[in-house]
């Protein structure tokens, strides 16, 4: 696991109250980068970089690339690089990533392989 030089110095701003949620369905595969000003839910497969205020990787979600968010929650699988202010890993999470964060919560049973780096 290595750091990603394309990661911005600051996390995205929290989503505005009227921001629309983007849902990537379980039957959807995205190969490329995504930037959103609203929350993003990944139920399918994503390969690339996703930048959003909130990213949620559902239990059916598979993510390979860079996740950049203010808040990241993982129930599914992620590999690559994570840079998020707040990270929450559910018991079902499988994370093979270096993780840069300010705060992290890891439930018992979650799998984490990689380096943790705290940023303030």
Give the pLDDT confidence of 58-80 residue by residue, as tens digits: 999 999 999 999 999 999 999 99
Task: Report the alpha-carbon distance of residue 76 to residue 79 in Å, rounded.
Answer: 10
| Confidence (pLDDT) at 8 | 61
Average pLDDT, integer, range 102-115: 97
Give the HSE-up count for residue 96: Cα atoms under 13 Å, Cβ half-sphere: 6
Average pLDDT, integer, range 31-51: 96
| Confidence (pLDDT) at 120 | 76
Which phi and psi (to 5°) does residue 106 adopt?
-125, 115
Q: Are 59 and 73 in contact (CB under 8 A)?
A: no
Task: Report the alpha-carbon distance of residue 57 to residue 44 in Å, rounded.
Answer: 9
| Confidence (pLDDT) at 96 | 98
Q: What tokens appear for 32 in the block?
A: 């490329």
């Amino acid at each position: 696991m290595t750091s990603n030089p394309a990661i911005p110095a600051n996390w995205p701003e929290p989503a505005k109250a009227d921001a629309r949620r983007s849902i990537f369905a379980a039957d959807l595969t995205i190969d490329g980068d995504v930037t959103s000003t609203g929350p993003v839910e990944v139920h399918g497969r994503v390969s690339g970089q996703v930048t959003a205020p909130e990213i949620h990787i559902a239990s059916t979600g598979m993510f390979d690339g860079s996740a950049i968010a203010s808040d990241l929650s993982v129930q599914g699988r992620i590999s690559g690089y994570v840079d998020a202010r707040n990270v929450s890993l559910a018991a079902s999470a499988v994370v093979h990533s270096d993780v840069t964060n300010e705060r992290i919560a890891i439930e018992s049973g979650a799998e984490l392989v990689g380096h943790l780096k705290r940023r303030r």
